[in-house]
Structure 1
Amino acid sequence: MMRFLDTVMGIPMSIDIREAGDRQAAASEAFAIMHEADAIFSPFRPDSELSRLNRAELTLETVGGLFTEVHELASRFEAVSGGVFALHSASGEWDLNGIVKGWAAQRAAQRLREFGVENFCLNAGGDVVAAGNIEPGKAWNAGLRSPESPRQMMAVLALRDMAVATSAAYERGEHILDGRTGRPARGFSSVSVISANLTTADVLATTVFAMGLDGPRWAAERYDCSILAQTEDGNFIDAGDLRRWLAPAKS
């Protein structure tokens, strides 16, 4: 077992690899991809392409290829969600935070696979890509934190070659906005989405949270995903084939 740690986008991130051999180069490449995304998309870095676009120093015609890729992905989600998922903040500035972390982590996971790493868990601040097995015949376990307590789990998932992303209000408060109104989303305290691709899971977690109580069914009907959400009053809503991913209860 090898575990590599780094702080990217101001968030602790880790890569656990369950294979023999020196995997330092693979992990370094994966983290470099995520640092590159931060350099391009961070709203806190004045030299990022996103900041320069907001200052009108760049246009969509002059940004780099990676920015264009993310912009096109985000535009499709904005269209299919009817504007619930938005590319701009309430003040009108470009804001791609709802997609960048998942997209970057998915690219990092792909880089690990290109290095021949098959059994790993990449944890990007609670959003997870689980590849292969933690040990022969055993899936990776990913806990979904309860909004009430970091020590309490809503569920534990058993994942192989899957990803899970969570949007919640328990750490950053009302930071998720409904793109249709520009106002903080209401209805959920936590939304987790399981998908084969972390980019999709990340965007859908934000979108479902912002959409409100109609969100889980909307996402499950349009995407191959499963959802577990907790409402502000403590009730649970699930959609898709959630039971498929629940870890067996320990005896």
Structure 2
Amino acid sequence: MRVPGGGGRSRDQRRRRGLAAPLGGRGRPDLRLGVGRRNERPGTTLTDRVVARHTVQTSIGEYTMILNGAGVIGRREIGDALRDAVAELRAIDLTYSPARPASLVARLRRGEISAEAYPPLADIVARCAAMRAATDGWFDAWAVPGGFDPGGLLCGWAVERAAARLRAGGVGNYAVVSGADLTVRGYAPHGGPWRIAVHHPTDGARPPVMLEMTSGAVGTSGVAGRRDHVVDPHTGEPANRLVAATVTGPDLTVADGYATALYAAGRAGLDWFPTRDGYRALFAAPR
């Protein structure tokens, strides 16, 4: 997987530009990202770890949570944390999904409410405004037909909110995956960093990019299966410069926003990376 114009650079050069290099020979992946990739078995498991896996479907997306704990965290605590995270995802779906006519986002689009009246909605709006400024307008939730639509970062925001619920429940080692997006923290069930295989969105013959992470996120735009789901905010037409764009960084909400902007901007978007706060373009697949 290559960013356009990235061929021939050394691994050190790629890291300076924020482009991840493949990590070969690191063992079986714990997680796989890409079209049609399922994460049924997250690698091997140490005998002292309690491992749980749960999937929940909402109108925003499908989310899979993989949790493990050692010693101080038991099955009951993990079960409680899972229930809290699932409740958070379902509440976000009902309250903020643009697809639901009664949601706060839909009501905001119709001018029935102000964002300031609902702190989480105000947070979504503020994050969208910040991403518009950070991407020279290539991420623009107000340029979507029909009015304000935070879909370019809403899935990442939901994942991070669910992850916060897991941490509040005492879970320090987890992965939350939604499609080709994820956030991880701590260690995988085998006891080492999470090993993540990022597959090319269209070329299954290419070897995946391998990442090892104990904290951070991977956000992807362009592989959701929805035709023309990203709009070029400068023309109002569907973006068609890339097949997909993937960004890594500390927070999935921001990584998702950058990936959406990069998908819309194409090569021009590579000027943003790496950012001072740690976001890097993993790849941008041209058409």
TM-score range, shorter chain: 0.7 to 0.9
The yes-or-no answer on 1:59 pairing with 2:109 is: no
Q: 1:166 aligns with which of 210, 214, 220?
A: 220
Q: Please identify, of 153-162 and 66-75, the stretch whose mean Cα deviation from structure 2 is larger.
A: 153-162
Q: Quote the offset at 1:25 in angstroms.
A: 1.0
> How far does the alpha carbon of each residue in 1:143-199 deviate from its partner, in whole angstroms, 9 at most, with x for none?
222122568653122111111111124722331112222222232111111111111
The yes-or-no answer on 1:208 pairing with 2:258 is: no
Q: Output the CA distance in 2 between the equivalents of 1:107 and 1:26.
A: 13
Give the counterpart letter for 1:43 in structure 2: P
The yes-or-no answer on 1:18 pairing with 2:73 is: no
Which residue of the partner structure matches residue 240 of structure 2?
Answer: 186
Q: Output the CA distance in 2 between the equivalents of 1:136 and 1:172.
A: 35
Aligned residue pairs total: 232
8 Å CA contact 1:130–1:163 kept in 2: the answer is: yes
Q: Output the CA distance in 2 between the equivalents of 1:187 and 1:104.
A: 27
8 Å CA contact 2:60–2:93 kept in 1: the answer is: no
Over 3 Å counting, the alpha-carbon distance change for 1:130 and 1:94 in structure 2 is: same
Return the structure number with greater relative CO, CA threshold 8 A, min gap 6: 2
The yes-or-no answer on 1:49 pairing with 2:104 is: yes
8 Å CA contact 2:183–2:217 kept in 1: the answer is: yes
1:192 is paired with a residue whose SS is strand
Any residues of structure 2 matched to 1:90-169 within 5 Å, and which? Answer: 90-135=144-189, 137-149=191-203, 154-169=208-223
Q: Please identify, of 150-159 and 82-91, the stretch whose mean Cα deviation from structure 2 is larger.
A: 150-159
8 Å CA contact 2:61–2:155 kept in 1: the answer is: no
Identical counterparts, % of pairs: 28
Q: Output the CA distance in 1 between the equivalents of 2:193 and 2:252.
A: 17
The yes-or-no answer on 1:79 pairing with 2:133 is: yes
Give the counterpart letter for 2:107 in structure 1: R
Which residue of the partner structure matches residue 17 of structure 2?
Answer: none
Q: Output the CA distance in 2 between the equivalents of 1:91 and 1:6.
A: 29
8 Å CA contact 1:90–1:183 kept in 2: the answer is: no
**Pairwise CA RMSD:** 2.1
- Runs of 4+ in structure 1 deviating by more than 4 angstroms, as ranges, are 149-153
Over 3 Å counting, the alpha-carbon distance change for 1:152 and 1:33 in structure 2 is: farther
8 Å CA contact 1:188–1:229 kept in 2: the answer is: no
Q: Which runs of 5+ in 1 are unaligned?
A: 234-251
What TM-score do the two structures reach when normalised by structure 1? 0.84
Q: Output the CA distance in 1 between the equivalents of 2:219 and 2:195.
A: 14
8 Å CA contact 2:59–2:99 kept in 1: the answer is: no
Over 3 Å counting, the alpha-carbon distance change for 1:170 and 1:37 in structure 2 is: closer
2:208 is paired with a residue whose SS is strand
Bigger strand fraction: 1
Q: Output the CA distance in 2 between the equivalents of 1:200 and 1:164.
A: 10
Which residue of the partner structure matches residue 7 of structure 1?
Answer: 57
Q: Quote the offset at 1:89 in angstroms.
A: 4.2
What TM-score do the two structures reach when normalised by structure 2? 0.74
> How far does the alpha carbon of each residue in 1:83-117 deviate from its partner, in whole angstroms, 9 at most, with x for none?
21112244341101011111121121122111111
8 Å CA contact 2:95–2:104 kept in 1: the answer is: yes
1:2 is paired with a residue whose SS is strand
Q: Output the CA distance in 1 between the equivalents of 2:110 and 2:206.
A: 43
Which residue of the partner structure matches residue 38 of structure 1?
Answer: 93
Give the counterpart letter for 1:19 in structure 2: G
Which residue of the partner structure matches residue 29 of structure 1?
Answer: 84
Over 3 Å counting, the alpha-carbon distance change for 1:59 and 1:153 in structure 2 is: farther
1:108 is paired with a residue whose SS is helix
Q: Output the CA distance in 2 between the equivalents of 1:151 and 1:174.
A: 26
